[in-house]
Chains A and B, each alone.
Chain A
Amino acid sequence: MTKVGVFKLVSFLVILALLTAICVIEDRLVAGSLMEVKNYCYAIELASEENGGIINGEVASLVDNLEVSWKENEGRLCFMVNHKSIEQLGVEIVRLKTYIDEEEEIEFFTSLEIIKHYVETFQHFMGASFHNIL
């Protein structure tokens, strides 16, 4: 095989490896990030049920953790996903904190439901599925 042939073969393999790596990383990153948000949502619901409302340290701490975790994940997701598609989730998470401060329980749970809805929707359009391919 000539030098050019070897170079092309190596390039082919490198590109193939790169594409595979990107696809795997994206899939794991998306699944991991969304699962984390979902788990925080359930934990917040549980904490608010156990403590009889949203005005307590545990819920506030969980919302803070959710915000920190989402910011980290959002930064990573921006390498793979259109920023505009995921920004609304961050907005809803910030709203949760405001609702705790203003003691607006109904709005808080509405926002929590919206966050869960976004997570479900993101799983549909970000992950690799037959629907997305077509």
Chain B
Amino acid sequence: MLTIVVRAIIIYLVVLFLYRLMGKRQLGQMQPFELVLTLIIADLATIPMAEVSVPVLHGIVPVLTLVLLHFVLTFLSSISHKFSSFLSGKPVIVINPNGIDYKALKNLNLSVDDVFEAIRGCGYFSVEQVQYAIMETNGKMSVLPKSQYSPVTIQDMKLEIDKSVIPVNIINEGRILNNNLEIAKIDKTQVLNILNKAKIKKIKDVLLMTIDKNGAVYLQKYGEKYQTFQTKPLGKVEE
């Protein structure tokens, strides 16, 4: 059993490392060749994990080979548009201003119900609201609504508003994040001052504290309601 435990750890670490190497794509964002790769790797990795008579290399070598192949295909896709189209396909317009393109649907093996499901997922419940719907190569549907059904934007209303800023986590589950202190350009003394102001004595009592470059603080103590307040703007926060 110890053998299986050690083998499982080795294979897990190798596969984890290789997936990190390949990138951060989510399952739903995968191109067809990436999905194939994922399925095969999952299958290959389990063989030597449970079968002690099979060398671990029998699992690792094919996985490494596939990763190598993935690198080559990705590289070729990045330098050749034709190759990329061959490998991943092309986005297909399934709804155009004339309505549903049935021929395109049939080529994609999709039904009208599938199109309805996809556009509902994008927040539109009638084909009439949609100007264009495009089936992307990763299997997701992108929808461009007709102008009259588009949501109103700040730009449409010609409003002047401050730029959005990303708050930085300073304390997370009772632990101060030193790297983020540097990003927010504040020091521990300033953090303690903020906590004093909120009548919190210890850092470990804080569930979450964030601060943005405008000095807006979000602070929540364990088991209590959050509080927000404004401090003076701090150093420049990296966005």
A interface with B by C-beta (< 8 Å): 8, 11-12, 15-16, 18-19, 22, 78-84
Contacts and interface: CB of A to CB of B under 8 A. Distances in A.
B57 A80 contact: yes
Interface stretch (B29-37, B58-66, B212-220): B58-66
Interface residues of B, number: 13
Contact of A16 (B53, B58, B68): B68
27 contacts: A8-B21, A8-B71, A11-B71, A12-B71, A15-B64, A15-B67, A15-B68, A16-B68, A18-B64, A19-B61, A19-B65, A19-B68, A22-B61, A78-B55, A79-B55, A79-B57, A80-B55, A80-B57, A81-B55, A82-B53, A82-B54, A82-B55, A82-B58, A83-B52, A83-B54, A83-B55, A84-B53
Report, nearest first, the 6 A-B pairs whose CB atoms are least far apart.
Answer: A83-B53, A84-B53, A12-B71, A15-B64, A15-B68, A11-B21
| Secondary structure of the A contact surface, majority rule | helix
Interface of B: 21, 52-55, 57-58, 61, 64-65, 67-68, 71
Contacts of A80: 55, 57
Contacts of A11: 21, 71
Nearest to B48: A82
Contacts of B58: 82
B54 to A, nearest CB: 6
A61 to B, nearest CB: 32
B193 to A, nearest CB: 37
Nearest to A79: B55
